[in-house]
Amino acid sequence: MPELPEVETVANGVHARVAGQRIVRVWTSGKPQTFKTPEAEIAEALTGSAIDSVRRVGKTIVMTVRCKNKPTEFLIHLGMTGRLLVSQSDVPIPPHTHAILTLADGREVRFIDPRRFGRLSIHRAVVSSGQRTTDNGQPTSYTGPGREPLAISLDDFVALFRNRKTPIKAALLNQSLLHGVGNIYADESLFSAGIRPRRQAGRLTRDELTRLRKALIDVLRHAIKLGGSSVSDYVDADGVRGFFQLQHKVYMRTGEPCLVCGTPIKRITLAGRGTHFCPNCQR
DNA sequence: ACTATGTCCTGCGAGC
DNA sequence: TGCTCGCAGGACATAG
């Protein structure tokens, strides 16, 4: 499933391929749950505009487009099985394609999502009580619900979990605290930090949280370097699979020996998610 | 204000 | 072989 490293890989790949291109036509599938913003509104916002940039915020891909000098942000959340591909128009359209942006040079940005947990929307600036949202009068750009795991300071990281009774794994998955962390990297970073997923977030020591933050940053950076994890059917902007899944230490390794101590990896369900850990290395 | 749980959706693999 | 069934999970709604 696409988490921070996968989304970053896709966003960077799409940016490199389409930045500066004009969108000449927009097609959408009509599957209502895919569209958080009505399809007609998305088509209207994107058609005729030029793509400024494509970047990642949390697990969301933010495509900034410009029409008559007015910037608009197109948000693409890949959900579980979403893909964002840049294809030549003669490449057959895969099943479960929900949106196609046709570019001026004929190529197509395609959003494909079999399980339909992905979401497409237009981000509009939130303007409250007549106030301008930024100094220059531009709409506020999308920042996501939580903090960036790769940018947060240690003090802020520690403060996020203070007084929380929920298990640390559930807290890591909570996008309004940190955004971008999903099931794979929650399990992997907890293993690397030697912390059991069920530990109460608010009871972790500063030392443990220091280790966890470092583990999380290291594992995310490493995964980005390898192009992300290809589990489920994640692929990058060209349809190429990532390689980080070959380096998972605990995720989906139930019963297999821990790579550090040999103890069989245990699997429990936590926050409704499969959770994998080494009962010996993680305390 | 938190926390926990159910729901969406399709593909895949296990089991018979 | 071909079928059914259960499971996978990110975000959100709802309940406690």
Report pLDDT digits (tens) over A167-179.
Answer: 999 999 999 999 9
Q: Is the CB of A33 under 7 A from strand B?
A: yes
What residue ranges of chain A are covered by domains with CATH 1.10.8.50? Answer: 154-277
Give dist(CA A194, CA A212) in Å, integer.
Answer: 8
pLDDT, position A231: 46
How is residue A55 annotated by DSSP? E
pLDDT per residue over A122-158, tens digit each? 997 654 444 444 444 455 789 999 999 999 999 999 9
Active site residues of A: 2-3, 59, 273
Angle at A39 between CA A143 and CA A139, to 5 degrees: 30
Query: Closest CA to B9 C1' — which residue?
Result: A115
Q: How far, in Å, CA of A89 to CA of A92, rounded?
A: 8
Average pLDDT over residues A32-60: 95
A191-200 mean pLDDT: 96
**Which residues in chain A are classed under CATH 3.20.190.10?**
4-123
Residue A135 pLDDT? 44
Better-predicted residue by pLDDT, A230 or A16: A16
A275 three-state secondary structure: strand
User: How many angstroms is C1' of B2 away from CA of A231?
Assistant: 32
Q: Reply yes or no on whether the pLDDT at A76 is more than 60.
A: yes
pLDDT of A174? 96
User: Which is more confidently placed, A252 or A247?
Assistant: A252
CA–C1' nearest nucleotide, residue A177: B2
The 10 Å Cβ neighbour count of residue A3 is 22
Among 3.40.50.300, 3.40.50.720, 3.20.190.10, 3.40.50.960, what is the CATH number of A4-123? Answer: 3.20.190.10
Q: What percent of chain A has pLDDT over 70?
A: 88
Whether the beta carbon of A149 falls within 7 A of nucleic chain C: the reply is no
Mean pLDDT of A166-191: 95
CA–CA dist A82, A59 (Å, integer): 12
Torsion, Cα of A45, A47, A50, A52 (10° steps): 40
Using N-to-C axis directions, what is the helix angle for A154-161 and A206-225, rounded to 10°?
A: 110
Q: What is the pLDDT of residues A262-280, one digit of tens each?
A: 999 999 999 989 999 999 9
* pTM for this model (two decimals): 0.91
| Phi, psi dihedrals of residue A44, rounded to the nearest 5° | -65, -40
> What mean pLDDT do residues A179-194 have?
94
Q: Is the CB of A115 under 7 A from strand C?
A: yes
Please give the CATH number for the structural domain made up of A154-277.
Answer: 1.10.8.50
Beta bridge partners of A200: A167
